[in-house]
Structure 1
Amino acid sequence: MGVFEDMREAGVEANTVTYNTLIAACANARKHEKAMGVFEDMREAEVKADTVTYSTLITACANAGKHEEAMGVFEDMREAGVKPDTVTYTLAINLLWCLAKYDSAVLEAERVFTNVLFKENGSTQLVYKLDLHDQTSGSAQSLVIIWLAKLAEHLPSHSTPGTELTIITGYGKHSKVLGASSVRAGVVDLLRTLESPFMTPSHNKGCLSAPIGEVQQWLKLIRAKSKADVGFVEDMLSILRQTHS
């Protein structure tokens, strides 16, 4: 912050990059209030905030456990006409999940990341390997629910023996603590809550797999236990709410 003050004293005007750098420094130091303070200075100086500005602020608030405040930043971003990018959406969906707004998280994930579920753009063929590497914990769990619901509707009644469904989470290779992947932890917790047949194969700690036949039987069981004809997504969210209530 000292450099910033020196710039001001020297009459050098700060631009968007300057403010973004300061906000990021505050976020990395887990000083979200200072980050918000820099943002207010940015507004007063009439320097235009961009996608990076808002994404960094959301991260700063979320890291401080200020999820409602972070969602407020996301709404401010939309009102300001700044278009969220993929990173911003994963952060926003994660916030909705943390706030137990599962329906909203799933709806937003399906709207933004539908392409992840299919083999290619415009295709109706679902992937048998769901890659969640670029997701946050909340957006990953939302996508797993959407994917499973679509599989329940579209899986063939007879599949090739040995065919497996796989969810790729990574295992925290690039985390500060090896194996500490929030995406993996969230997905594992979700699948355990849903009593799914997905397991971690011994040869790859970064994914979860299950035979397609077992997944079909499990999904049928979830459907059979449902008290209303509300669809697979709502069936799974209902189980989630009951467990976390």
Structure 2
Amino acid sequence: MTTEYSGGGDPKRSMELLWGVPDRPRRGPKPKLTVDQIVQAAIAIADREGLAGLSMRRVADELDVTAMSLYTYVPGKAELVDVMLDTVHARTAEPDDDRGDWRSRLERLARESYDRYRRHPWLLQVASGVPVLGPNLLARYDRELAAVDGLGLTEIEMDLLVNLVADYVHGAVRGAVETARMRQRTGMTVEQWWQSYEPLLAQVFDPERYPVAARVGSVAGAEYQAPADPARSFEFGLHRVLDGIEAFIQSRAGA
């Protein structure tokens, strides 16, 4: 799987593109494209083919221009990925973020993030240990922090809690994305795969050697009709994470 790294390009140019810093006026004909058109074309390619299918030439082909002409707008793929990452975090609606208590607000944000990964699975291919903070990513971070503000937590605790939820969603959504990718590549549903695989496993599996796995696995397999149920796992895990945060908040209130 191709991995890209946010912040891997020219940080000055990435920040200029993210925050809309205008270029110096240039002589000549009016530009045929905008940065947003280029970014939207790149996102469409990545949504279909992943980051492995993304290149400046592919974007140029999508827009019916020469690859060299794109470099007058975007320096390269690394900076393009930075802007793509920020763009898909733009809010598509304006929900009332103050609705409900901290738990319902964090849950809503977690589900929003989960759905974003499902729409743009290539996000899992972007390593953002060094995030380039654009306006949409900062707005999301602000919303997440606002959900746990005023609960008597320190600023560090607030940051750690919202990162805990973000890390959980990032890990939990992988199963759903990989399942969808498998179906796309093989043409088989998980149920179809399991029906063909289960008889083969039965020929080699010794329940006496793995008694707990045999007992639990048989019940879970019958329930899911598959090795796992990513959507159900996400729901179960999200509520347990929120339970843990609630216990932490209560312990801090009683300290």
TM over 0.5: no
- Taking structure 2 as the reference length, the TM-score comes to 0.25
Q: Larger Cα Rg: Structure 1 or Structure 2?
A: 2
- Taking structure 1 as the reference length, the TM-score comes to 0.25
**Bigger RCO (CA 8 Å, 6+ sep):** 2
Higher helix share: 2
